[in-house]
Amino acid sequence: MIQPFHLAIPVKNLEICRTFYRDVLQCEEGRSSDHWVDFNFFGHQLVIHQKDDFIPQRISNPVDGHDVPVPHFGVVLTWENWHQLSERLQANKTHFIIEPTTRFRGKPGEQATMFFNDPEGNALEFKAFKDIGQLFAK
């Protein structure tokens, strides 16, 4: 069993981000205070911290013909769960940085991937491998 990671990120508007992670991504809410909320982020612990002077960085790195935002975070889902999330996000009119697509076609590490921001500009990536054995393939 993989141990869950813990990630804490800044947000300006706690309530808008709370709604996004809880209702759009369907992450179960855990403990909270007036200035932070933690979530079960697909089995991992994500904490959003209200930071009034937070300004997200807008930088990217070229990967397989796309400008991938860095930093970013997310999880590797099963193929089926990735497609379900992709459909839910599209139905929710999510603005994608990189639309749901397949990257590295026919090469080691072929994957379905999508990038989008939370309401405060924190970049997220969700991906899936048809063959999870390719996760670290060279």
pLDDT in tens, 98-114: 999 998 888 888 899 99
Q: Where are the beta strands (DSSP E) in the chain?
A: 6-11, 28-32, 36-41, 44-50, 59-63, 66-70, 72-77, 96-103, 111-117, 123-128
Domain boundaries, the chain: 6-50, 60-134
**Cα pseudo-dihedral 28, 33, 35, 36, rounded to 10:** -30
Q: Phi, psi at residue 11, to the nearest 5°? A: -145, 150
CATH class of the domain comprising 60-134: alpha beta
23-72 confidence digits (pLDDT tens):
999 999 999 999 999 999 999 999 999 999 988 878 888 887 888 888 99
Residue pair 104/110 in contact (Cβ under 8 Å)? The answer is yes
Phi, psi of 14 (to 5 degrees): -60, -45
For residues 5-11, give the mean pLDDT.
96
Domains 6-50 and 60-134 share a fold: yes
Whether 91 contacts 83, CB under 8 Å: no
Which of the following CATH numbers is that of domain 6-50: 3.30.70.120, 3.10.180.10, 2.40.30.10, 3.40.1180.10?
Answer: 3.10.180.10
pTM of the predicted protein model: 0.90
Upper half-sphere CA count for residue 34 (Cβ side, 13 Å): 1
DSSP 8-state assignment for residue 23: I
